Amino acid sequence: MVDSIFLIKIVTERSVIMNKKEQIIFSALYLFSKNGFTETSIDKIAKHAKVSKGLTYSHFKNKDDLLRVVIESTVTEMTEKMMKIERNSISSLLQNLKIGLIENKNIIRLSLLLLIHPQTPVSVTKLLEKQKQELIELLSSLLADKHKENSKIEAELLLATIDGITIDFVLNPNVENLENKINYTINKYK
């Protein structure tokens, strides 16, 4: 009986710690996307998450490490969702993109800020570059039948179009406008 009470206490404490860690990650995402990476301190993140600065440092070595975890846990998940396509179609990928843009505006805004900011940690830029290369490979394979030897170039051009649609939506979050651009692009690549 004592052992089971002790085990319940450990599981409960571990759950609280996991919830606090998730709160820190969520707060970091929110503040990084709102204020930028360099303008957001660990102290501000801890206050926003309603945890101590010490607890934040017990989960993350430093702000760069926290940013890396935020990017890994959010951008990677979002990219994986977007890349889950049906019938190997550009249409499916673009529909997933639309859903991802609408549901994940903060992480997309953060990613865009990180791509252009000169002080973005190297580990984060490498992660974002890896995501980009995986997406180019997928697009290239989807375009291979129609564009044969130029499928990689066509994939890079389509990704540039996707980037433009993304930037436009982050700056002007009009869902109808987004849907029009996605539908136009789908029709272009039928």
77-104: pLDDT as tens digits: 777 777 777 667 889 889 988 998 898 8
* CATH superfamily placement of domain 65-190: Tetracycline Repressor, domain 2 (1.10.357.10)
pTM (predicted TM-score): 0.73
> CA torsion 122→127→130→131, rounded to 10°?
-140
Q: At what angle do helices 175-188 and 90-103 cross, to 10 degrees?
A: 160
Is-contact 126 142, C-beta < 8 A?
no
Q: How far apart are CA 161 and CA 108, in angstroms?
A: 15
C-alpha span between 64 and 39 (Å, rounded): 13
CA distance 79 to 89: 16
The rounded distance, in Å, linking the Cα atoms of 171 and 177 is: 12
Fold of 1-60: Arc Repressor Mutant, subunit A (1.10.10)
Q: How many CB atoms lie within 10 A of CB 164?
A: 12
Domain ranges of the chain: 1-60, 65-190
Q: Could you report the per-residue pLDDT of 117-161, keeping only the tens digit for each?
A: 778 888 888 888 888 898 899 999 999 988 888 999 999 999 999
- Which range of 20-29, 41-50, 73-82, 108-117 scores highest in mean pLDDT? It is 41-50
